[in-house]
Structure 1
Amino acid sequence: MSIIIIIFVTAILSLYSGVFGSGKYSQPIAVIGLLVAFAATFYGEVPFFLKYSSMFVFDGTSKIFTQIVIIATLLIFLLGRYAFRLIDHHQSEVYSLMLFSLSGGIVLFCYQNLVTLFLGIEILSIPLYVLAGSNKSDLRSNEASMKYFLLGAFATGFLLFGIALIYGTSGSFDIAAIRHYSLETKNVPTIYITGIILMLVGLLFKISIVPFHFWAPDVYEGTPSLITAFMASVVKISGFVALYKLVETVFVGQLNEWQYVIFYTAILTLLVANIIGILQKNAKRMLAYSSISHAGYLLLIYFNTDSNSVYILAFYLLAYSLATVGAFASLIYVERVSHGSSTFEVFNGLAKKQPLLAFTTSISLLSMAGIPLTSGFIAKLSLFTQTMGTQPVLVIIAVIGSAISIAYYLKLIIAMYFKPGYQELQNAQKAPIIYNLVALIVVVLIIALGVYPAPIFNCLSISW
């Protein structure tokens, strides 16, 4: 809980820094606050906060996922000064809202109570409804904000109704008590199963699983790209871990009921997202469908009975978040040059103008596709290997989906390296040094984790 307070205080300071210097101090404050929060993850919880253990528990698993989202947010914030140059007058509000959302995400790693789960979802989501429309002069951004808000509120209704049904049957909001009810009750009432399904629907919407994905492409396209990167990485990680903790820890007694839902939605997600991704002509929409497809791969973790499954999930999410930041770094630069366009054509010739950004984007996309010598390959290999014994059909479909995804990832790589240069790109200024630095960090980590993943696996207590 102390880490949440550090991030919350940082958000307040970043917000009030907008009073001075038109918000130019908000980024350094946010970055310093994240570094302090990251350092705090290596220390135990402050004794004062242990009395809230019925609501929050910051254990080893929570620590791992908290470190991953802080690293991803830190890399995203380093891209912020250039990305937000057009909205200098309210940069401080944007950084503070992203930090508020991050604090909600960390709540989802620590919750011990369904009320805390609901609060975490709302703290995570409400700032995003505002952030999606932060580019006030862009109608697409306004549309994205409205769609995200309306559909998000609808999904929250499902989640809240499901929580009410679970409470009505089990008599408690505490996840330990609900777990006991789930295991000890031989014939649970239908209303309890209905509550599980409704909660699944609400959380599957948050991580954009087919058929609850229809909001994602439009929202991703209309939202400012830096915030889209945050949504595609930090928000997705938080929602997925919340769902994982709920079904694997709480609803273990109804394994057959919820696994059917996960099984069929995983198949739909893997096929629909990758097939529609091929048809896209806009890089941002393509990355939206890529994000949806990766949520489908991650659903395989629910059929993994190995005790290391949570750590395989952590490694996959780390690899995915690094690749997401690497892909969006060049997207942000290209959008600035092309005055907001993110079609494949505006990437033409990027390798000649910005070789490091183009190379990082290529490595990031290859990692998303699961090509060897990248962290994405190790992540998919670990996930598929552990799931093969229980759901071989699902693994085969996932492999087919990965093969299909290569087609739309290669479209962007071909545009950057083999197409004639985009005219406005040729006359554009060089990307800021910080972009090249972030790109270098991302590409080194992706390749290092793909070539020699043992140190990370050892840190996650996995034998490799």
Structure 2
Amino acid sequence: MSVLIIVFLTAVAALFSGVFEQGKFARYIGIFGLIIALYVSFLPEASFFEQYRHMYDYSANTALFTKISIVTTLLLFFLGGFAFSNHRSHQSELYALMLFALCGGIILFGFQNLVTLFLGVEILSIPLYVMAGANKTDLRSNEASIKYFLMGAFATGFLLFGIAFIYGSTGTFDLYKIQEFTITNPKNIMLILGVILMLCAMSFKVALAPFHMWSPDVYAGSPSLITAFMASVVKISGFFALFRLMTIGFSGVTAEWINILGVFLIITLLLANAMGLAQTNAKRMLAYSSVSHAGYIGLVFFGMNTLSTYTLAFYLFAYSLATVGVFMCLIWVEKIKRETSFGAFKGLAKTEPLLAVVATISLLSMAGIPLTAGFMGKFSLFAQALTKDDNTFLVIVAVLGSAISIAYYLRLIIAMFFFKETTFKTSEKVTVTYNIVAVVIIASLVILGVFPDLFAKQFGL
């Protein structure tokens, strides 16, 4: 909880920095606060917070996911100086809202209670509704905001209805008491209805089909840095919350929800990758890519073992690094060209080779090409699922979806590298900060792909 308080106070400081110099110090305040929070996340929790453990528990797993979300947010903050240059009048609000959303994510990493889960989901979601509409003069951004808000409110109704059913059948909000009840009463109809409703609500938060309808329009209409935040930090928070909810609270009725989740994954993997092939806009393609990765990540529920939490953390970290790597390239191209079609990337490698390389390595990692962190993440998930013969068909669908994804990732790579003439007629060069972040992401994706055990050592496991 110490980390949560530090991030919250940093958000407040960033927000009020808008009083001075139009908030240009907000990014530095955010970076400084996140570095302190990252340092504190490696320390033992203060004994003072023991009294709140029935609501929020800062366990080893909570610390692990908190660290990777802070690292990802920190990388995005480093990119913010260029990405938010068009938002000079309200930069402080955007940085503060990102930090408030991160607070919601941190709550989701350690919730012990369905009330805490609901608070975490709402604290994460409400700033996103606002940030999606940050481009006030852009109709697509306005559409993204209102669509995300309406669909999010609809999903919140499912979540609350599910919580009501769970409480009505178990008489408690506590995750571990609910687990005990599910083990002794696995056929309780009200309980099962509550589980299914909550599964549907959380599937919306992580963009699993058929609850993904909002994501392409919201991702495409939001400012690109905010989209990167949604596709990385929000995905980390939502998936670990779903994982914690289903494997702890509802572990006694796994047989009742696992097949439903399997159907969601099959629809997600086939539909998202097929739609990704049909896109002509890189940002919408990345939106469908994010949906497809929700399908791969969902495999963690199948063939579970003692390493499942670590496998989930590794995959989410690798995917988040790759997401930041692609979006930093997209942000630069969008700022120069004012569009994000595949054609806008033609000849990028001749003008900004480092940007093209980081985007390429990131896309290859997303596709699961060997010697990248994404390959090791997918391999671990597929290998875990194959420990049970019942999951063979699901893994085949995942492999097929992964193969299809290579086609639309290659289209962007071809546009960047295989055109003789560059279409970038600008004297503007990528900043030193951008280059440093690019090198860090390239090195991380390759090193973790070759030496995956370094992930455990780096995060103190």
**Aligned partners of 2:430 and 2:460: how far apart in 1?**
39
**Aligned partners of 1:251 and 1:226: how far apart in 2?**
35
**Aligned partners of 2:51 and 2:280: how far apart in 1?**
53
Distance 1:271 1:92, change over 3 A: same
Match of 1:349 in 2: 347
**Aligned partners of 1:236 and 1:70: how far apart in 2?**
13
Do the aligned residues in 2 keep the contact of 1:346 with 1:422 (CA within 8 Å)? no
Do the aligned residues in 2 keep the contact of 1:54 with 1:113 (CA within 8 Å)? yes
Do the aligned residues in 1 keep the contact of 2:350 with 2:422 (CA within 8 Å)? no
Match of 1:294 in 2: 293
**Aligned partners of 1:337 and 1:183: how far apart in 2?**
58
Match of 1:46 in 2: 46
RMSD: 1.2
**SS in structure 2 at match of 1:86:** coil
Alignment equivalent of 1:359, drawn from 357, 360, 365: 357
Do the aligned residues in 2 keep the contact of 1:334 with 1:346 (CA within 8 Å)? yes
Match of 2:71 in 1: 71
Structure 1 position 46, deviation (Å): 1.4
Write the letter of the residue equivalent to 1:184.
Answer: T
Distance 1:179 1:80, change over 3 A: same
Distance 1:139 1:420, change over 3 A: farther
Structure 1 position 186, deviation (Å): 4.9
Structure 1 position 118, deviation (Å): 0.2
Structure 1 position 305, deviation (Å): 2.3
**Aligned partners of 1:186 and 1:388: how far apart in 2?**
26
For residues 33-91 of structure 1, what are the alpha-carbon distances to aligned partners after superposition, in whole Å with 9 as ceiling and x for unaligned?
00000000111111211111110000000011000000000000100011111110100
**Aligned partners of 1:460 and 1:382: how far apart in 2?**
19
Write the letter of the residue equivalent to 1:389.
Answer: T
Write the letter of the residue equivalent to 1:361.
Answer: A
Do the aligned residues in 1 keep the contact of 2:67 with 2:459 (CA within 8 Å)? no
**Aligned partners of 1:16 and 1:279: how far apart in 2?**
44
For residues 359-416 of structure 1, what are the alpha-carbon distances to aligned partners after superposition, in whole Å with 9 as ceiling and x for unaligned?
0000000000000010000111111111112211111111111100000000000000
Match of 1:443 in 2: 442
Structure 1 position 426, deviation (Å): 2.7
Write the letter of the residue equivalent to 1:321.
Answer: S
Structure 1 position 455, deviation (Å): 2.1
Distance 1:46 1:457, change over 3 A: closer
Distance 1:337 1:414, change over 3 A: same
Match of 2:26 in 1: 26
**SS in structure 2 at match of 1:85:** coil
Structure 1 position 454, deviation (Å): 2.0
Match of 1:92 in 2: 92
Do the aligned residues in 2 keep the contact of 1:337 with 1:428 (CA within 8 Å)? no
Report the TM-score when normalising by structure 2.
0.98
Match of 2:112 in 1: 112
Distance 1:140 1:421, change over 3 A: farther
Aligned-pair identity in percent equals: 54
Write the letter of the residue equivalent to 2:268.
Answer: T
**SS in structure 1 at match of 2:87:** helix
Match of 1:172 in 2: 172
For residues 299-345 of structure 1, what are the alpha-carbon distances to aligned partners after superposition, in whole Å with 9 as ceiling and x for unaligned?
11101221100100000001000000000000000000012x11011
Q: Residues 374-389 of structure 1: matches in 2 within 5 Å?
A: 374-389=372-387
**Aligned partners of 1:219 and 1:311: how far apart in 2?**
30
Structure 1 position 427, deviation (Å): 2.1
Distance 1:430 1:173, change over 3 A: same
**Aligned partners of 1:459 and 1:185: how far apart in 2?**
42
**SS in structure 2 at match of 1:241:** helix
Structure 1 position 192, deviation (Å): 1.1
Write the letter of the residue equivalent to 1:380.
Answer: K
Do the aligned residues in 2 keep the contact of 1:311 with 1:461 (CA within 8 Å)? no
Structure 1 position 22, deviation (Å): 1.2
Match of 1:13 in 2: 13
Q: Residues 7-406 of structure 1: matches in 2 within 5 Å?
A: 7-188=7-188, 190-339=189-338, 341-390=339-388, 391-406=391-406
User: Number of matched residues?
Assistant: 459
Structure 1 position 187, deviation (Å): 3.2
For structure 1, which segment, 141-150 or 451-460, has the greater mean C-alpha deviation from structure 2 after superposition? Answer: 451-460
Unaligned 5+ segments in structure 1 are none
Do the aligned residues in 2 keep the contact of 1:144 with 1:220 (CA within 8 Å)? yes
**Aligned partners of 1:279 and 1:430: how far apart in 2?**
32
Do the aligned residues in 1 keep the contact of 2:186 with 2:253 (CA within 8 Å)? no
Distance 1:161 1:422, change over 3 A: farther
**SS in structure 2 at match of 1:357:** helix
Structure 1 position 245, deviation (Å): 0.3
Unaligned 5+ segments in structure 2 are none
Write the letter of the residue equivalent to 1:76.
Answer: L
**Aligned partners of 1:417 and 1:373: how far apart in 2?**
21
**Aligned partners of 2:135 and 2:171: how far apart in 1?**
45
For residues 122-158 of structure 1, what are the alpha-carbon distances to aligned partners after superposition, in whole Å with 9 as ceiling and x for unaligned?
0000000000001111111011000000000000100
Do the aligned residues in 2 keep the contact of 1:350 with 1:421 (CA within 8 Å)? no
**Aligned partners of 2:456 and 2:33: how far apart in 1?**
28
**Aligned partners of 2:337 and 2:112: how far apart in 1?**
47
Structure 1 position 268, deviation (Å): 0.5
Do the aligned residues in 1 keep the contact of 2:42 with 2:460 (CA within 8 Å)? no
Do the aligned residues in 2 keep the contact of 1:273 with 1:290 (CA within 8 Å)? yes
**Aligned partners of 2:418 and 2:70: how far apart in 1?**
36
Do the aligned residues in 2 keep the contact of 1:345 with 1:422 (CA within 8 Å)? no
**Aligned partners of 1:68 and 1:60: how far apart in 2?**
13
**SS in structure 2 at match of 1:271:** helix
**SS in structure 2 at match of 1:372:** coil
